[in-house]
Amino acid sequence: MKSNNYEQLRTMPNTSPPAALCASLKAIRHVALDMDGTIYKGGTLFPFTIAALRALKAMNIRYSFLTNNPSKSAREYLQRLHDIGIPASADELYTSAQATIDYLQVHRPAVKRLFILGAPGMIAEFEDAGFVSTADDAADRPDAVVVAFDTSLVYPRLCRAAWWVAEQLPYIATNPDRVCPTDKPTVLVDCGSICAAIEHATGRKPDLVVGKPNPRMLEGIMKKYALRPGEIAMVGDRLYTDIAMAINTRALGVLVLTGEAQREDVEKSALKPDIVVNDLAEFCAMLEALPINHYKPV
């Protein structure tokens, strides 16, 4: 289990990082960024985000946006990022829906027909990838069930998903998140909670949960950019997804306190990040404080 070396630095701002942590920071070539709770919250962009992304580019450190939230298609996410002032390309984005599509195409090539609990944009993304979305009809039997963060969820479709799960069809969840971060006065019930309802009704958990903390999301980026585990930092606001995935892939785990997890949660959890910072800007400042001649163009 990893230890949190950075906790002691929070009360010693004028001291240098421990040698081991400094060496880990110097090795970073790529930063994987969780989105909601890390670069924005709900509909609000954090005021430090743009400057932090510019700082990473100035240090020749690449970054990618990772999200467990499949309620929007990749196209919708890119448009949203653009609308709030973050220029991003398709190569810089990877969602749990995309990871689920990749998994099915590689590991379940015979699966073509899906009953999907998901938002319309996500269903369209699966259909664009060649899958057929089946109807809420007992006669329209799918090959598998996919459950996601479904912001359009209605009761009959939840019941139909539970029926197919009870029928022992292959059952895949896009992500384990219990709630989605929001800046609104509500609780956004996420995929993990929908799966909990299905489990309570059927006694069955998903066969596979594809998104974070499953290492395949981070491993895809590592493969794409020929990175070793120690050369990538996973920055996010959740212990049981972002930090757990960093631990699972032996990447540097950086917890920001701008979303779900707070410092007291770290104290109680067996999942220990390598670094705990107030926000992304503070992590970038740590990187900037390292010797500048360390960085090489990428």
What are the tokens at 206? 């998903």
User: N- to C-terminal Cα distance for the chain?
Assistant: 31
73: in domain: no
Domain range enclosing 267: 7-68+212-292
- Whether residue 62 is found in the same domain as residue 103: no
Q: Which residues pair with 232 in a beta bridge?
A: 30
> Do 204 and 165 touch, CB atoms closer than 8 A?
yes
Of 188, 209, 230, the last residue of a domain is 209
pLDDT at 16: 55
Q: Number of structural domains, the chain?
A: 2
pLDDT at 2: 43
Which tens digit of pLDDT belongs to each residue from 72-82?
A: 888 899 999 99
190: in domain: yes
- Whether residue 108 is found in the same domain as residue 199: yes
- Whether residue 186 is found in the same domain as residue 217: no
Whole-angstrom distance, CA of residue 260 vs CA of residue 147: 22
DSSP string, 152-190: T--HHHHHHHHHHHHTT--EEES---SEE--SSSS-EE-
SS3 238: coil
Of 209, 225, 242, the last residue of a domain is 209
Which tens digit of pLDDT belongs to each residue from 7-60?
A: 433 333 444 567 778 889 999 999 999 998 999 988 789 999 999 999 999 999
- Whether residue 193 is found in the same domain as residue 243: no
Supply the CATH number for residue 156's domain: 3.40.50.1000
Of 159, 190, 209, the last residue of a domain is 209
Percent of the chain with pLDDT over 90: 76
- Whether residue 117 is found in the same domain as residue 158: yes
Whole-angstrom distance, CA of residue 148 vs CA of residue 195: 9
Whole-angstrom distance, CA of residue 214 vs CA of residue 241: 8
